[in-house]
Amino acid sequence: MSRIGKLPVNLPSGVTITVDDANVVSVKGPLGTLSQKLDRDITIEVENNLINVLRPNDEKRLKSLHGLYRALIANMVVGVTTGFKKELELVGVGYRAEANGQRLEMSLGYSHDIVIELPQEIKVETKTEKRSNPVITLSSIDKQLIGHIAAKIRSLRPPEPYKGKGIKFVGEQLRRKAGKSAGV
């Protein structure tokens, strides 16, 4: 039995879960609604505010999907109740970020500014204070989407190992390298 898959998901008050005939799970909560298509062999059982993800047998394909779908459903429940937040820090002289609605404009040391159109499901805020690095805050109810967008933004200027300049997640520990003088 999958250690993750057999754990029940706690269903908080105010959150409802429905499974339709096409095996699409919809989770509705105070922040919005999320849905996920499940494999035809995986079933969902709801009782006493607990969600159990079940599989019919121990086939290898089903064992691999069991824990995956349980984790996806748990992320959906957390997303519609509290939401998810990612913070990115721009480290470098002259690096800046500005949010205008769903547009994120960044100056990252290239010859041009980079403009990203964000999906409607993601809310973006930027904070720039004197004597500190600019911080981009992304918030959404969809963990998969927010992680994808945050990784895409980080890939525009990944942190380099010598000075640490680039876009990094807040709290991320970078492996720093010694420069040329360390070999002497």
The 10s digit of each residue's pLDDT in 153-163 is 999 999 999 99
In angstroms, the CA 67 to CA 64 distance is: 7
The CATH code for residues 9-81 is 3.90.930.12
pLDDT band at 182 (very low <50, low <70, confident <90, very high): low
- CA–CA dist 14, 129 (Å, integer): 38
Name the class of domain 84-170. Answer: alpha beta
pLDDT digits (tens, 9 = 90+) for 98-133: 999 999 999 999 999 999 999 999 999 999 988 899
Residue ranges covered by each domain of the chain: 9-81, 84-170
Q: Residue 3 — very low, low, confident or very high, per pLDDT cuts 50/70/90?
A: confident
Contact 164, 157 (CB under 8 A): no
In terms of Cα–Cα distance, which of 72, 73, 41 is closest to 54?
41
| End-to-end C-alpha distance for the chain, whole angstroms | 55
Checking if the pLDDT of 143 tops 60, the result is: yes
pLDDT tens-digit map of 40-94: 999 999 998 999 999 999 999 998 899 999 999 999 999 999 999 999 999 999 9
Domains 9-81 and 84-170 share a fold: yes
